């Protein structure tokens, strides 16, 4: 099935024949559903620190920042913003010349409130010889949208979200990239140095670099910090092969077709980061400075929880590795793993002492993450669960609906009654107690991918996404959930979301 030309392509992309064979096998067999024990909730896997505990964790984080540790804010920023403008593309393609849907009417009646208004007005004046107001008076609404989305205007239909103007300020406007600059200075400031890492697409990297070069001096002066900004791109080696309806490799003009492996591919980018602690937050989940206080407080809080748990885990690992521990100390470690790290096994009571210590060491000595969870208000996204792992243990996991067997009435009920969901608000510890980096791909559950059905030039195509970055790619991490307020979750899914109070 694999020709010499195929082998050359695989070598160029850094993908092994064994990997392709496994992916094709996955298309044929599908991915198993995960068995869940319960939905995580307050009191059962989700922490709600009281005021005194919050103050304690904030103090822990402030001390950590002064101790010479390294911290990076990791922002997946490669996604195109085209879905943000789906309704406006439909308007352009439709027969109606004037706004007819509620979405279209809201967009045009509030158009002056968008941070990109001035720039769009200038584009309309340049390309059409008329301002936005004049075009609207003439009923030329489509000209305005064309100037917003097309490359002859602002090109917002093809740019990534990170480069769009989201927020108005008295003397300027800011993109999400700039808002992450400000956020980083507020909670990831390590003695005057702020490190940010953006994952970007190759065709937009130059635009990101240009924006950073322009804005970096301004924000360094504003926050009295020095920024270290780096970029990476999704690796070609993480692309997945497409399959046809019969689960054979999909070919286009005789050549194998590969597709990006989804955000789970970014575990490779995260693995390349040299840092003790890494914050992860999506590019579009930002607010203006006037609303950042809660975001900053809760980012510091979950970071304080993380480094507190890590410190305790490290102490236990040193004790185990010393070989000088008592039965009472082993009992204490068991309680920590079960009650603080929410990792349980019914089998440990049957283990011999030596095997028990090996088990505990393995569970302690792995990457750790603390994830913010917000109350469920009907937003789509993964949720927090207590799920079974391949080794028979039960631990906290973030699961998508596709990973749950909805034909199982009990599992479906658990999913539907979930009280919280995942806003992609993580802080990660990626080194062991000796200061050595964990190799993060070793902690991925390969059985948690996702298959979707698409078409290419009229032919049916099966596409595969790798285990998601905060789902299967972090399956074998120690995971802890902390409730955070809804005000910390403000994604921009459509352009009209920018009209919400939190973005004005």
This prediction has a pTM of: 0.95
Residue-wise over 396-435: b if at least 16 C-beta within 10 A, else e?
bbbbbebbbeeeeeebeebbeebbbbbbbbbbbbbbbbee
Report the distance separating Cα 228 and Cα 261, nearest Å.
Answer: 28
- The contacts found for 144-150 with CB under 8 angstroms, 24 or more apart, are 144/108, 144/111, 144/120, 145/88, 145/91, 145/92, 146/92, 147/120, 147/123, 148/85, 148/88, 148/116, 148/120, 148/123, 149/85, 149/88, 149/89, 149/92
User: Bridge-partner residues for 45, per DSSP?
Assistant: 41
CA 374 to chain centre: 15
Rounded CA Rg of the chain: 25
Whole-angstrom distance, CA of residue 319 vs CA of residue 293: 39
Q: Where are the domains of the chain?
A: 4-81+164-503, 83-158
Contact 331, 311 (CB under 8 A): no
> What is d(CA 330, CA 353) in angstroms, rounded to the nearest whole number?
9
Beta-carbon count within 10 A of 378 CB: 5
How far, in Å, CA of 426 to CA of 478, rounded?
Answer: 12
Q: What is the pLDDT along the chain (504 residues), one digit of tens a residue?
A: 788 899 999 999 999 999 999 999 999 999 999 999 999 999 999 999 999 999 999 999 999 999 989 999 999 998 778 899 999 999 999 999 999 999 999 999 999 999 999 999 999 999 999 999 999 999 999 999 999 999 999 999 999 999 999 999 999 999 999 999 999 999 999 999 999 999 999 999 999 999 999 999 999 999 999 999 999 999 999 999 999 989 999 999 889 999 999 899 999 999 999 999 999 999 999 999 999 999 999 999 999 999 999 999 999 999 999 999 999 999 999 999 999 999 999 889 899 999 999 999 999 999 999 999 999 876 656 799 999 999 999 999 999 888 899 999 999 888 888 899 999 999 999 999 999 999 999 999 999 998 988 888 888 999 999 999 999 999 999 999 999 999 999 999 999 999 999 999
State which H helix or E strand residue 321 sits in: helix 292-322
Rounded distance between C-alpha atoms, residue 372 and residue 354, angstroms? 36
CATH number of this structure's domain 4-81+164-503, picked from the four choices 3.90.550.10, 3.40.50.2000, 2.40.30.10, 3.40.50.2300: 3.90.550.10
Residue 239: other Cβ atoms inside 10 A: 19
DSSP H or E segment with residue 216: helix 205-223
Instruction: Give strand pairing partners of 279.
Output: 73, 427
Helix or strand or coil: residue 296? helix
Estimate to the nearest angstrom the gap between the alpha carbon of 398 and the chain centroid: 12
């Amino acid at each position: 099935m694999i020709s010499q030309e195929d082998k050359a392509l695989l070598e160029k992309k850094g993908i092994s024949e064994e990997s392709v064979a496994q992916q094709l096998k996955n298309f044929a067999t599908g991915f198993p559903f995960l068995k869940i024990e319960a939905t995580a909730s307050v009191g059962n896997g989700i922490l709600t620190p009281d005021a005194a505990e919050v103050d304690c964790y904030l103090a822990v984080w402030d001390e950590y920042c002064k101790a010479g540790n390294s911290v990076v804010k990791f922002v997946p920023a490669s996604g195109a913003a085209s879905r943000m403008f789906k309704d406006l593309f439909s308007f352009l393609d439709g027969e109606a010349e004037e706004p007819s849907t509620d979405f279209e009417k809201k967009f045009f009646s509030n158009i002056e409130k968008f941070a990109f208004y001035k720039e769009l007005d200038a584009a309309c004046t340049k390309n059409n010889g008329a301002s936005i107001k004049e075009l609207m008076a003439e009923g030329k609404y489509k000209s305005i949208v064309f100037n917003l989305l097309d490359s002859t205007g602002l090109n917002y239909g093809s740019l990534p979200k990170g480069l769009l103007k989201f927020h108005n300020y008295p003397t300027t406007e800011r993109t999400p990239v700039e808002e992450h600059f400000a956020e980083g200075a507020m909670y990831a400031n390590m003695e005057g140095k702020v490190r940010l890492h953006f994952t970007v697409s190759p065709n937009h990297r130059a635009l990101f670099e240009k924006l950073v070069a322009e804005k970096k001096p301004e924000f360094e002066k504003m926050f009295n910090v020095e920024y270290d900004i780096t970029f990476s791109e999704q690796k070609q080696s993480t692309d997945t092969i497409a399959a046809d309806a019969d689960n054979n490799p999909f070919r286009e003009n005789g050549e194998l077709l590969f597709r990006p492996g989804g955000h789970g591919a970014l575990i490779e980018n995260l693995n390349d980061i040299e840092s003790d602690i890494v914050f992860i937050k999506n590019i579009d989940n930002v607010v203006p400075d006037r609303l950042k206080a809660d975001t900053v407080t809760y980012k510091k809080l979950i970071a304080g929880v993380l480094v507190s748990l890590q410190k305790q885990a490290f102490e236990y690992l040193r004790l185990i590795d010393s070989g000088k521990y008592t039965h009472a100390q082993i009992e204490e470690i068991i309680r920590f793993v079960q009650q603080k790290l929410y990792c349980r096994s019914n089998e440990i009571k049957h283990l011999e002492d030596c095997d028990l210590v090996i088990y505990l060491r393995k569970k302690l000595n792995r990457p750790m993450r603390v994830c913010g969870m917000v109350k469920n208000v009907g937003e789509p996204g993964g949720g927090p669960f207590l799920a079974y792992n391949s080794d028979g243990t039960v631990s906290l996991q973030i699961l998508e609906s596709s990973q749950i067997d909805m034909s199982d009435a009990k599992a479906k009920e658990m999913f539907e009654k979930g009280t919280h969901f995942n806003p992609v608000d993580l802080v990660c510890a990626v080194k062991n107690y000796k200061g050595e980096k964990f190799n993060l791909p070793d902690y991925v559950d390969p059985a948690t991918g996702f298959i979707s059905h698409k078409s290419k030039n009229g032919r049916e195509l099966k596409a595969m996404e790798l285990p998601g970055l905060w789902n299967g790619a972090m399956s074998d991490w120690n995971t802890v959930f902390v409730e955070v307020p809804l005000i910390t979750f403000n994604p921009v899914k459509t352009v009209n979301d920018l009209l919400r109070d939190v973005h004005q």
